[in-house]
Structure formats: structure tokens, C-alpha cells
Structure 1
Amino acid sequence: MIVTELNVYPLKSGGGTTLREAEITPRGIRHDRELMLVTPDGRHLSQREIPRLALLRPVYDGWKLRVEPVDPAVVATPLVHDVRRDGEARDITLFRAPSRGVDQGDAAADWFSAVLGTACRLVCFPDDHVRPLDPRYATGEVGYADTLPLLVTSPESLAELNTRLPEPVPMNRFRPNIVVSGWDGPFGEDRARRLRIGEVEVDLVRSCGRCMIVNVDQATGVRGREPLRALAGFRNVERRILFGRTGVPRTLGGVRVGDPVVVLDR
């Protein structure tokens, strides 16, 4: 078993950035979901409301953000923005729960509002803010990710799903952080509780319940009816449609594409 993909999503619900190597921090891959768009009154935005967020291609090093829009219907120069990480934070909500974000100013807000055609503002996760994990699942912290800091999927599971679809979908529909290949069959990740990935250990604590975002074509920003409908036909468990496993780092360090993966606990 080996790592075949590493992905980071610095802008929540924006396009992913493929990596050859990544640093695993307490909040997952460094800079994952560290930035987010919110409505003017502070409610978080995602591809659920704005599928065209998939067409934003962010690159972020922790200080400078560059976002290129690849929507053919939008003519705009890329955004290049120096991220304010330590400014005064404002109240925002994420899935109706209170959170905090450092507002990135009018220029960034105007750029995103014009490109997406809806009023919004860009916020950054404050350095001194802690968003604790739901204690029902794990202890630790997370940035602006939905519930847990890491999502692990497998090509074997995707291959099984694609046999049930009229047209196959790529792995980017599921927006994983780490893709591990070499399982002994589809959905082998469901049975794993702890992995050693390169030099780090990851606890897989919960299967990932999927929403309509998986129906958004990440190359076009258009939402269809699949693969969620097909997935619901054979992966609906207690009213949650499952694909992939979410987890938390047990130890920290670096991971690379090609690293060996070992199941430590099932």
C-alpha cells in the first residue's frame, strides 16, 4: 500500500492543489482550509450554494495567496493578496456554529464578489483561535474543514463506484487529502482504524458522509445528479451516504507521494 495522491484545499470549497509532499500538522495538511469565503453577515459559503467555487485555483504559502479563476465566462486577472493572519478577528458561523475569522479587506472581497457574482468576504483562520473537534469522535483541533482534519480515500473504492455510473468520475469529486492505493478490495479503508503513512500515524475515526458537493464537476463548476445517487444505492448507512474515512493525526511530520502505508489497527 502506498500514497498515490496528496491534496490541499487552502480556500474552503475552492479548487485543490496537488502536492508531491506535505507537512501534517495538528489541523491536518499545513494550510488546508485556512481561508474561507463568507457572506457579508458572516455565514460560510461553499460549493453547496456556489458550485463555481470549484473553478477558483488557489495557491497559498501561509502569507501570500494567489487565486486564478478558470471559469471561461469570467474575465479577471488573478488575485494576488498578502494574507493578514494576526489582525482583529470577526465573528462568523460555520454550519451555524460560531467561529472566528480575520477579514482580508475590501480589495479581496471585491475581487471574489465580482468573480462569483455574489457579495462575499474572505477570512483567514486566526493564529490564536482553536476550533476543537467534536468530542464524540476525537480530541484535537481543526481549521475550517467540515468536521475532522484529514480525509483518506482509495482508488479501489472509486473504481467500484465507477462500475455503477453511466460515466466514470475522477477522484477530485471527493476532495481527499490523502489517497492510498493497494487495499485488498474496495472500501478497505472502512476497516482501518489507524495507519502509518510515511513517518506519521493517522487515526481514522469516522466514515465520511457525503453531500451534494460530490455532484459538482470540479473542472466545469456544473452540478449534476451523480455520483451521489449511485452511491446512495449501496453506501447508505443510517441515512449517511459514505465514501472515504476522516481522521486525525496521531503523530506529526512529513508525507510524500510514494510513501508506504501500513494498517496498524483494524
Structure 2
Amino acid sequence: MTRLASIHLRPVKSLGGVDVDRAEVEPWGLRHDRRWLVLRPDGGKLGSTALPALLGLTAALGPGSIALTARDGSSLTVTEPVDGPPVATDVSRLDTVRLAADEAHDWLSARLGRPVRLAWLDDPRRRPMSAEHGGGPGDPLNLSDAGPLLLTTAPSLRRLRDWIVEGALERGEPAPEPLAMARFRPTVVLDGPFEPFAEDGWTHVRIGAVDFRVSERCDRCSVTLIDPETLASGNEPIRTLARHRRHDGKTWFGIRLVPVTTGEIRVGDPVAVS
């Protein structure tokens, strides 16, 4: 039986997140997922491609707040700035976000080694999903780049790992450690008795009692080259995806989902696809 194997919440875009046993699906994505982001002083967004150190910080949920944690064990609780000052940003299809308290900016700046600010999206309904990425009229979006949820599958990762090992042996290199699914920063991961990359052909997914439509396949960027544990960069998985999964000048892994209905999903839920 195909089932929901894991759920991953990342409250702050480009930071590490937390694995959860259940999550509430809202029209713009999972509740609390990607509602915060790190900005440059001029309001421009900062991502882990430009600043890999973001991946070394973790954001977890609290009541009306998030808890930021660095790898040195230091932490800070930041309350949702419901009355925070609005600041202009270059996030696509969004004019402003609300700034967190100065304490959050100072804490993050000290750990990232450059001046930054932390901001919060108060209402995802203010940001429409792009039609270019499969958004329909009225589809809202959190601070994700292109779609409310990203789905990946265990069979596809197992096949990719096999390809990576085969390539290494062909080059006379030792087999590398298995690639972690965290490289792809999925929201939900499925496992079951289906073929690798079967998800390429899906148009609808039902997880438990919640329905989703597939908006598009996910093209992969250089963030996947950064090991989220060591923050070191390498050639995988893009090198191997370019060999086996290159179409239209891009490499592909995973699919993006748009909620059709809302409700709770839980790890272990049965999944139906069509």
C-alpha cells in the first residue's frame, strides 16, 4: 500500500525545519510552513544558494512563535509580528512582509556573519500562485518558490542512489554515502509498491482524506548540491540527474501539489494517486 512516509515543516524559508507526525493542510500549504524568511537590509530575499549558512540554522514551532536554533546550541524564540512594521520585499507577487523584533535581526545577523532581517507573511492570501507554475485563479501561496507542497518518493530516491553509485564505480571512485532526501527539501514523502518516478505521470493525489492536484514536476536547482549536515558542496545529485533525468534543459525530481481540499494529514495515511 502506498502511504505517507514523512512530513517536513520548514517555518522559515531556506532554514532547516522539523519532522512532524501530522500537519494541517491549508489552501496555501501546510499550516506554519514557510511563513517566515530572511531578508537583506534592503528587503531583498536571501536564500541558501547565496548563503548556505542558512541551512545550518533550524526553526521549530511554538505557540504563535518560532524557535530558532544554531548548531552551537544557542536559540531564540520569536513571536509572530502581527503588528510588526510592513517592509517592501522583492518576493514575487508580494509587496510587503512584516518585520520581526530587532532582537531576531541581531541574533540572525550574528550567526550568519552579515546584516539580515527576519520577516513574516501575515496572510498568504495576499500572494497568488503563479500561472506559470500551474496556479489557478485564486490559488494562494505561502513563501515557497512555486507551489504549496513538494512531494518526493522513496522509490525514486532509491533509484537515484543506485545511479549515483553506478556512476562512481564507472569513474573508479568509491561508492559515496547514500544521498539524503533532505537534499530535496520535500514537504511530504511517499513510499509504496510503485515504480521509481511514477509520480511524473500523476495528476491527482489523495493523502488520507485530503485531495491535491499536481501542478507541475519540480526542476532542481543548485541548493541540492549542498549537504544540509556538513554544508559542503559537491556534484551530486545534479550530475547524476543531468545524466538520467534531464529534459527541456533542466533536471527533475519530485512534483508540486496544490490542495483541492483541506484537513489533517498524518504519517502512515494511505495514499491514492491517479
TM interval, short-chain normalised? over 0.9
Equivalent residue, structure 2, for 1:33: 34
TM norm structure 1: 0.93
2:194 equivalent to 1:193:
no
Cα shift at 1:16: 2.0
Listed as ranges, the matches of 1:201-216 within 5 Å are 201-216=211-226
Q: 2:123 aligns with which of 127, 134, 140?
A: 127
Aligned-partner residue type, residue 79 of structure 1: L
CA shift in 2, pair 1:120/1:261, >3 Å: same
Q: Is the 1:210–1:242 Cα contact (8 Å) retained in structure 2?
A: yes
Equivalent residue, structure 2, for 1:142: 141
Aligned equivalents of 1:212, 1:24: Cα separation in 2: 28
Equivalent residue, structure 1, for 2:60: 59
2:244 equivalent to 1:234:
yes
Equivalent residue, structure 1, for 2:17: 16
Instruction: Select between 109-118 and 77-86 the one with higher mean Cα deviation.
Output: 77-86
Unaligned stretches of 5+ residues in structure 1: none
CA shift in 2, pair 1:77/1:15, >3 Å: same
Aligned equivalents of 1:52, 1:10: Cα separation in 2: 17
Aligned equivalents of 1:128, 1:169: Cα separation in 2: 33
CA shift in 2, pair 1:184/1:76, >3 Å: closer
Q: 2:97 aligns with which of 87, 96, 101?
A: 101
Aligned equivalents of 1:161, 1:180: Cα separation in 2: 15
What SS does the corresponding residue of 1:58 show, helix, strand or coil?
strand
Q: 1:114 aligns with which of 96, 110, 114?
A: 110
CA shift in 2, pair 1:128/1:47, >3 Å: closer
Aligned-partner residue type, residue 78 of structure 1: S
TM norm structure 2: 0.90
Q: Is the 2:94–2:127 Cα contact (8 Å) retained in structure 1?
A: no
2:246 equivalent to 1:247:
no
Cα shift at 1:144: 0.6
Unaligned stretches of 5+ residues in structure 2: 165-174
CA shift in 2, pair 1:76/1:120, >3 Å: farther
Aligned equivalents of 1:37, 1:81: Cα separation in 2: 13
Q: Is the 1:100–1:129 Cα contact (8 Å) retained in structure 2?
A: no
Q: Is the 2:208–2:270 Cα contact (8 Å) retained in structure 1?
A: yes
What SS does the corresponding residue of 1:158 show, helix, strand or coil?
helix
What SS does the corresponding residue of 2:272 show, helix, strand or coil?
strand
- Structure 1 residue runs of 4 or more that deviate by more than 4 Å after TM superposition: none
What SS does the corresponding residue of 2:104 show, helix, strand or coil?
helix
Q: Is the 1:35–1:144 Cα contact (8 Å) retained in structure 2?
A: yes
2:87 equivalent to 1:90:
yes
Instruction: Select between 220-229 and 14-23 the one with higher mean Cα deviation.
Output: 220-229
Cα shift at 1:89: 1.6
Aligned equivalents of 1:148, 1:260: Cα separation in 2: 23
Cα shift at 1:76: 6.3
Aligned equivalents of 1:59, 1:8: Cα separation in 2: 8
Aligned-partner residue type, residue 118 of structure 1: R
Instruction: Select between 126-135 and 228-237 the one with higher mean Cα deviation.
Output: 126-135
2:221 equivalent to 1:221:
no
CA shift in 2, pair 1:233/1:128, >3 Å: closer
Cα shift at 1:85: 2.4
Q: Is the 2:220–2:253 Cα contact (8 Å) retained in structure 1?
A: yes
Q: Is the 1:201–1:250 Cα contact (8 Å) retained in structure 2?
A: yes
Q: Is the 2:47–2:54 Cα contact (8 Å) retained in structure 1?
A: yes
Equivalent residue, structure 2, for 1:5: 6
What SS does the corresponding residue of 1:93 show, helix, strand or coil?
coil
Aligned equivalents of 2:214, 2:189: Cα separation in 1: 13
Equivalent residue, structure 2, for 1:151: 150
- Percent identical among aligned pairs is 33
Aligned-partner residue type, residue 158 of structure 2: A
Q: Is the 1:64–1:81 Cα contact (8 Å) retained in structure 2?
A: yes
CA shift in 2, pair 1:62/1:250, >3 Å: farther
CA shift in 2, pair 1:78/1:19, >3 Å: same
